[in-house]
Amino acid sequence: MKKILIFLLLAQFVWFAGEGNCREFDNLGTSGAQFLKMDVDARVVGMGGANVAFSQGAMALYYNPAGIANMDKHSLALSYTDWVSDIKYNYIAYETPLSGFGNIGIHVAVLSMGNMEETTTLQPEGTGETFGANSWVVGISNAYQLTNRFSFGITAKYIRQQISELTAGAVAFDIGTLYYTGFRSLRIAMATRNFGTDTKFDGKELETTFDEDNNPNTAPILIKKETTADPLPLSFRLGVAYDFVFNEQSKLMAALDGYNTRDRGQQASLGLEYSWRNRLAVRAGYKMRTDEEGVALGAGYDFEIPRFGTIGINYAWADLGRLQSAHRFSLNMTF
């Protein structure tokens, strides 16, 4: 199992590293479905985006499906993101252990925004009409704890985007692993996300007519415009996490992720989380090699409810540079 894990990690890391080194510039704007890069967990955001080695429960379905493998209870997660330009990103997920099938889960993430004014080349000031846009993804996951140290998970998901009456769909897979090294609390994890088909917009709004000679005796020609297919934002992430235990009531978790995306190249996230009595937590993180994102801060508190379980409430603030800042709220329930 160790040999298999090492082979998977090295093979994917070398492939992505080679792809990044073969190009002199980042391929910004060359991938579709960019909303899949956004974070949903306020805990993750507060730690600068580091996530792959410590995400557990229903929130892990979005980041690393292997994170649900060792759960022996039900888990429900909800989140709300107040993004820039009136953009909202909401997430709901549920996971449960299933005898004989490991752990299974389902998640849905929806991005929405306010209506926009329609403009055309002939009416650049506006036609008086408005249109909307939204994107969503739904995924189904299955994870197994293959040994007491090694877990594996896979997610199959469907992605849908809509702009006015134009739509685009794609099918993708996420694969993740989580490995406890045996050296105290050190764990190593890997996740490949958004490996799937290209997205291509289609719809009746691409159809138009062309009258070449303006002759009333000849019928106009029906023309359908073609759109370009865009690949999904394929990414590979390798991360580590370690707990520095001070005493029975307090500890500091440090997490570091290195990741490579199809349209950006190598980036990294570093996060710290100090927790007291496994209840109160404060977080700080930093994203490296980004255009606008950088420092992030967050906090959370877990409530123990007798005869039910635990409810965790988290908040995070992230600096977006010239785009100002973004706020996220998330709720985790284990029962």
Residue with tokens 């710290």: 272
Q: What is the DSSP string of 245-314?
A: E-SSSEEEEEEEEEEEETTTEEEEEEEEEEEETTTEEEEEEEEES-SS--EEEEEEEEEEETTTEEEEEE
Q: With respect to residue 228, please indicate whether it lies within any of the assigned structural domains.
A: yes
Pick from 78-82, 214-218, 329-333: least confident: 214-218
Residue 2: pLDDT band with limits 50, 70, 90:
low
Residue 12: pLDDT band with limits 50, 70, 90:
low
What domain range is 73 assigned to?
2-25+35-119+126-334
What's the total number of domains in the chain? 1
pLDDT in tens, 97-141: 998 889 999 999 999 998 889 888 888 888 888 999 999 999 999
CATH of the domain at 174: 2.40.160.60
Q: With respect to residue 230, please indicate whether it lies within any of the assigned structural domains.
A: yes
Q: With respect to residue 80, please indicate whether it lies within any of the assigned structural domains.
A: yes
pLDDT in tens, 49-59: 999 999 999 99
Q: Rounded to an integer, what is the distance from CA 221 to the centroid of its chain?
A: 44
Contact 213, 221 (CB under 8 A): no
Bridge partners (DSSP) listed for residue 323: none
pLDDT at 18: 52
Q: With respect to residue 107, please indicate whether it lies within any of the assigned structural domains.
A: yes
Cβ contacts of residue 222 below 8 Å, gap of 6+? 207, 208, 209
pLDDT in tens, 198-233: 999 999 888 887 776 677 777 778 888 889 999 999
Q: With respect to residue 90, please indicate whether it lies within any of the assigned structural domains.
A: yes
Q: With respect to residue 30, please indicate whether it lies within any of the assigned structural domains.
A: no
* Higher pLDDT, residue 197 or 23: 197
pTM over 0.75: yes
